[in-house]
């Protein structure tokens, strides 16, 4: 069962935008490594400024808790709160 959440807009906007929402709750399930690698590959080939593709990614998962905590510690305290497994 999906509940549609509509924005409380003051002026007319397209229904696609009005029904957009961003949850602050995530599943406690890890993203499979092949899906993560596929996502990073797609991001690597995304357009960039002057087509230079200067992408760099830092990834840490709960598979290596030491590295995960190290990466988490680089975030400001507010953003660390997004970690749902602390």
pLDDT digits (tens, 9 = 90+) for 36-86: 999 999 988 888 888 887 788 899 998 999 999 999 999 999 988 877 644
Which residue from 29, 84, 81, 39 is spatially nearest to 59, judged by alpha carbons?
A: 39
Within 10 Å of residue 56's Cβ, how many Cβ atoms? 5
pLDDT for the residue 23:
67
Contact of 48 with 54, CB cutoff 8 Å: yes
**Structure confidence at residue 86 (pLDDT):** 41
pLDDT value at 1 more than 60: no
Residue-level pLDDT at 24: 64
CB proximity list for 10: less than 8 A, separation 6 or greater: none
Rounded-to-integer distance, Cα 42 and Cα 64, Å: 24
């Amino acid at each position: 069962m999906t509940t549609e959440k509509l924005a409380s807009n003051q002026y007319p906007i397209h229904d696609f935008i009005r029904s957009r929402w961003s949850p602050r709750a995530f599943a406690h399930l890890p993203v499979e490594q092949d899906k993560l690698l596929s996502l990073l590959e797609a991001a690597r080939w995304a357009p960039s400024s002057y087509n230079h593709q200067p992408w760099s990614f830092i990834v840490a998962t709960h598979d290596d808790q030491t590295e995960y905590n190290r990466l988490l510690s680089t975030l400001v305290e507010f953003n660390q709160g997004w970690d749902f497994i602390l």
